[in-house]
Amino acid sequence: MDQGFRLFPKEASTIAPQVDLLYFFLVAVTAFFTLLIFVAIVYLALRYRRKSEAMPPETKTDLRLELSWTIIPFLITLVMFGWSTRLFLKMSTPPKNAMEIHVIGKQWMWKIEHPNGAREINELHIPVGRPVRLIMSSQDVIHSFFIPAFRVKQDVLPGRFSSLWFEATTPGEYHLFCAEYCGTDHSRMTGRIVVMEPAKFEAWLAGVAPDETPAKQGEKLFTTYGCMACHGERGPTMAGLYGSTVSLADGSKVVADEQYLRESIVNPAAKVVAGFEPIMPAFQGQLSEEQIVRLIAYIKSLRTAAGGEANP
Ligand code: CUA
């Protein structure tokens, strides 16, 4: 991990050099104009200081001057806008092949769950050179997942999912911070990101793999809570649901992403599927954050079932 003082943390993700480049550009533009204004202030104060002779005659407004100091800053801010928008969109659009890892924040720790069910606390092991998407939620207050070396930070909220993606470029260990004040031990809600060579990562993952994947545990919950009673036949089917477009009773359409699935579990009346009665009970407050994540993992695992190949 970073030791001692450095002005900037290491650049350890694909996005980091791009964020830094934009940052340096902003600093350079700001520094240039600050200097320009200060030099002008000093020069004009000396040049036109009060003297015994008469003041020079008043000058008329010069249209060219007015236009240039309006248009040039406008063009510069347009460059800033275009550049940062492109980068922002890139940072908020995870690649399709990203590996998905669940993160749950709570006072005052980070709970991590890998797709195979491997779990970690305050540590996240990831392979180098592979896009990783974190699906994050909080079981109490607002936290924020911050990896300075990757130049990424995302708030983690109770009651909904937020997502963050990155691709690490250099093996090593990096700081993880909570960047949103969340109570007494906020400053100790830290951890480390361990970036490993793919082969080493696979070995690590195999070494900590539990017997059951989150999807398997979700399937059990599905039975325990009696979901199958309706979603087997009478209710909307779960097979192939994830990622599909759902028609709702009010005529609108939504994409069945993680957020939609969460809402449909805790508050089913919010979005009723066309052709069905709103009879499903709300599970608000009855399921822990982990259970919600597992149920969704199960529903996501049924995505291939639409093609009739996989059998849930
Ligand atoms: Cu969690 Cu600050």
- C-alpha to C-alpha distances, 21 to 27, 33, 73, 165, 237, nearest whole angstrom: 10, 19, 20, 19, 48
| CA separation for the pair 247, 264 (Å, rounded) | 14
Residue of 209 and 176 predicted with greater confidence: 176
Answer whether residue 306 shows pLDDT above 50: no
Answer whether residue 311 shows pLDDT above 50: no
User: How far does residue 103's CA lie from ligand 1's centre (Å)?
Assistant: 13
Report yes or no: 309 and 240 within 8 Å, Cβ to Cβ. no
Answer whether residue 305 shows pLDDT above 60: no
- Using alpha carbons, select from 109, 106, 155 the residue that is nearest to residue 134: 155
Give the pLDDT confidence score for residue 302 in this predicted structure. 79
Atom of ligand 1 minimally distant from the CA of 143 = 1
Q: What is the pLDDT of residues 107-121, one digit of tens each?
A: 999 999 888 888 889
User: How far does residue 191's CA lie from ligand 1's centre (Å)?
Assistant: 12
Residue type present at position 100: E
Give the pLDDT confidence score for residue 297 in this predicted structure. 84
Atom of ligand 1 minimally distant from the CA of 178 = 2
Mean pLDDT for 101-107 is 92
Q: What is the pLDDT of residues 195-208, one digit of tens each?
A: 999 999 988 888 87
Mean pLDDT for 137-160 is 93
Per mean pLDDT, which range of 55-69, 76-90, 208-222, 298-312 is the poorest?
298-312
User: How far does residue 188's CA lie from ligand 1's centre (Å)?
Assistant: 8
Residue ranges with strand state E in 170-252: 172-178, 191-196, 245-247
Answer whether residue 309 shows pLDDT above 50: no
Phi-psi region of 251 (alpha: psi -120 to 50; beta: other; left: phi over 0): left
Averaged pLDDT score across all residues of the chain: 86
Residue of 50 and 307 predicted with greater confidence: 50
Residue of 35 and 304 predicted with greater confidence: 35
Confidence at 132, pLDDT banded by 50, 70, 90: very high
What six digits make up the tokens of 173? 């260990």
Measured from the CB, is residue 290 less than 6 Å from ligand 1? no
Mean pLDDT for 269-284 is 79
Answer whether residue 310 shows pLDDT above 60: no
Give the pLDDT confidence score for residue 308 in this predicted structure. 37
User: How far does residue 179's CA lie from ligand 1's centre (Å)?
Assistant: 6
Give the pLDDT confidence score for residue 70 in this predicted structure. 93
Report yes or no: 258 and 296 within 8 Å, Cβ to Cβ. yes
Answer whether residue 304 shows pLDDT above 80: no
Atom of ligand 1 minimally distant from the CA of 156 = 1
- The SS3 assignment for 242 reads coil
Q: What is the pLDDT of residues 154-196, one digit of tens each?
A: 999 998 899 999 999 999 999 999 999 999 999 999 999 999 9
Measured from the CB, is residue 181 less than 6 Å from ligand 1? yes
Give the pLDDT confidence score for residue 275 in this predicted structure. 78
Confidence at 3, pLDDT banded by 50, 70, 90: low
Q: What is the pLDDT of residues 233-254, one digit of tens each?
A: 666 777 778 888 888 888 888 8
